[in-house]
Amino acid sequence: MNQKYILVTGASRGIGRSIALKFAREGYHVFLNCRTSLNELEEVQNKILSMPGGSCTITTGDVGDPDQVRRMFQEIHKICPGLDVLVNNAGISHIGLLIDMTDNEWDRLLASNLSSAFYCSREALKDMVSAKSGRILNISSMWGTVGASCEAAYSAVKSGMNGLTKALAKEYAPSHIAVNALACGVIDTEMNHQLSAEERAALAEDIPAGRFADPDEVADLAWQIINSPEYMTGQVIGIDGGYI
């Protein structure tokens, strides 16, 4: 069997960590990325290396910085000619009124969530087009579909990610590359750890499924989407417990 290669951005914890471990268990060589949390990323690396046949490479870098993304892909090219799968997962949230948001906060949110997907997709697609195969999965949010009060900027960048998904799907379907997005609901990760116990309980009550999702549930769906027929492309697929 040919070795397959995946890059998961933001793989040190949460959804990215679960996706990285899932694909490693399924035999992929996983390129593990994060910006600063190297200790957590090394823990993921150790977990993969302890799996039978598990293989991975750490490629740290700020995926919101095009130079760092170009450097990451130079490192990837030392190991393989190109990726089979790119998962654009890295992201940060911002909660607060739009009128209180600074220029820097907006620039950082945009770079980490949307420019990151643009820069990584641009590099990955060059190789995928040559190979005439590949899969890109963008980890988006239900707020990108319906918008959220006090998360206007976050909603806007996730909408942008959905638009990028649909447009790239059309642009690269002739090259047999499928591009889809996952519109996540509330997933139990560090991103939501600022919520108090009372806020968590109230939020869970609003979700028809009555709970937050485990990141492993997102990873299982990511695996299914990556293994779906190539004809399924340009889709924004919800995993939100019936919330929206």
* Binding footprint of ligand NAP on the chain (CB under 6 A): 9-16, 33-37, 62-64, 89-92, 112-113, 116, 139, 141, 184, 186-187, 189-192
Cβ proximity to ligand NAP, 206 vs 230, nearer residue: 206
Cβ proximity to ligand NAP, 112 vs 180, nearer residue: 112
CA distances from 42 to 15, 28, 50, 79 (A): 16, 17, 12, 19
Please state the closest distance from residue 35 (CB atom) to ligand NAP, in A.
3
Please state the closest distance from residue 31 (CB atom) to ligand NAP, in A.
12
Cβ proximity to ligand NAP, 37 vs 228, nearer residue: 37
What is the DSSP-derived secondary structure letter of residue 208? T
What are the two backbone dihedrals, phi and then psi, of residue 182, each rounded to the nearest 5 degrees? -110, 120
Cα-Cα-Cα-Cα dihedral sign, residues 162, 113, 116, 102: positive
Distance CA(88)–CA(119), nearest Å, equals 10
The DSSP string of 81-122 is SS-SEEEE-------S-GGG--HHHHHHHHIIIIIHHHHHHH
Both structure tokens of 7: 């890059």
Please state the closest distance from residue 174 (CB atom) to ligand NAP, in A.
28
Please state the closest distance from residue 176 (CB atom) to ligand NAP, in A.
26
What residue type is 79 in one-letter code? I
What is the DSSP-derived secondary structure letter of residue 109? H
Both structure tokens of 51: 């799996």
Distance CA(41)–CA(13), nearest Å, equals 8
Cβ proximity to ligand NAP, 19 vs 125, nearer residue: 19
Q: Is 231 a catalytic residue?
A: no
The residues, ordered by sequence, that sit 6+ positions from 100 with a Cβ below 8 Å of its Cβ are none
Distance CA(182)–CA(240), nearest Å, equals 10
Cβ proximity to ligand NAP, 11 vs 226, nearer residue: 11
Catalytic residue among 28, 154, 172, 243: 154
Please state the closest distance from residue 115 (CB atom) to ligand NAP, in A.
9
User: Which residues have a catalytic role annotated?
Assistant: 154
